Amino acid sequence: MNLDGHVIRTRKIGIMGGTFDPIHYGHLLAAEETFFALGLDEVIFVPTGDPPHKRMKGVSLAEDRYTMTLLATLANPHFKLSRIEIDRKESSHTVDTLREMRHWYAPDSVQFFFITGLDAVLNITTWKEYKTLPTLCKIVAVNRPGYQTEKLGLLPDLLPEEFKGHVIPLETPLLSISSTEIRKRIESGKNIRYLVPELVERYIYKKGLYKRIGR
Ligand code: ATP
Ligand code: MG
């Protein structure tokens, strides 16, 4: 309740971070399922910035990845998009992003739900200041083909103590799509229709993305 006696409802915001090189239906479905399952107010997509030595890492330019994410999320009224990591000069870390995003809202008026695939969650102890993450957000772990779904239920035991009570396992329909697979398909001249939204497909062809040999 605020000083005028009005009840303040905490906004529940999903955050979908990723390289999105390119964004595909696996990302969109994970975000949409989480939105409805947890009754979120919105989901903010946060494409990562350009990694240092980006040429060596072979990741597409942040502006291209941002534009594809914009095209993919445009038609969904509860999907939003942020440039927070793209506009940052230093390399992007989830913990810094969440800390900064909290300042966008009045204190205690927002709860963050960071949405990740099972592959990413199982790697979380390699992230910067990973023990701080549960103090900043709940972590939603969605299943992903190729990663044993039964691990979803076991997550509390697989993750460090700090994550207890802060991880929400969520079973979603499985889509066996990865950006790596899409890039490979383009390189070898295969079709990508129905793996990515049509506008993303057109953008990829228009800009000639993923055609370089040796990516
Ligand atoms: P790459 O193959 O380049 O690693 P990716 O398909 O894994 O790409 P990312 O941008 O790395 O996509 O993933 C962003 C987030 O989306 C991660 O948390 C990842 O686990 C999740 N994710 C990606 N693809 C799927 C999918 N098919 N189903 C569920 N979650 C997914
Ligand atoms: Mg990945």
Distance of CA 147 to the CA centre of its chain: 17
Asked whether 23 lines ligand 1 (CB < 6 A), one says: no
pLDDT in tens, 160-194: 999 999 999 999 999 999 999 999 999 999 999 99
Please tell me what DSSP assigns to residue 147.
B
Q: Which ligand is nearest to the CA of 72?
A: 1
Confidence of residue 201 (pLDDT cuts 50, 70, 90): very high
- Block residue for tokens 């409802």: 9
pLDDT, average across residues 81-96? 92
**181 CA distance to ligand 2 middle (Å):** 11
Q: Write out pLDDT tens, residues 26-73.
A: 999 999 999 999 999 999 999 999 876 655 578 999 999 999 999 999
- Tell me the backbone φ, ψ of residue 45, rounded to 5 degrees: -85, 130
C-alpha of residue 69 to centroid of ligand 1, in Å: 13
**Matching residue, tokens 């009570």:** 165
Whose C-alpha lies nearest to ligand 1, atom 23?
A: 27
Q: Is 121 in the pocket of ligand 1 (CB under 6 A)?
A: no
Ligand 1 centroid–CA 30 distance in Å is 9
- Domain segments of the chain as ranges: 11-175
Distance CA 50, CA 105 (A): 26
* Residue with CA closest to ligand 1 atom 13: 18
Q: Who contacts 191 (Cβ-Cβ below 8 Å, separation ≥6)? A: 185
157 Cα: distance to centroid of ligand 1 (angstroms):
23
What SS3 class is residue 208? coil
User: What's the whole-number average pLDDT of the chain?
Assistant: 92
CB 62, CB 21: distance < 8 Å: no
Whether cis (ω within 30° of 0) applies to the bond prior to 51 is no
C-alpha 32/C-alpha 14 separation (Å) is: 10
Answer whether 28's CB lies under 8 Å from 127's CB: no
The percent helix, strand, coil of the chain (3-state, each to 5) is 40, 20, 45
Query: What DSSP designation does 196 have?
Result: B
Residue pair 79/50 in contact by the 8 Å Cβ criterion: no
Q: Assess contact for 54 and 91: CB atoms under 8 A.
A: no
27 lines ligand 1 (CB under 6 A): yes
CATH code that applies to domain 11-175: 3.40.50.620
d(CA 208, CA 112) in angstroms, rounded, equals 36
User: ipTM strictly over 0.85?
Assistant: yes
Read off φ and ψ for residue 70, nearest 5 degrees.
-60, -50
Residue 211 near residue 187 (C-beta atoms within 8 A): yes
Beta bridge partners of 43: 14, 79
The tokens describing 68, both together, are 């594809």
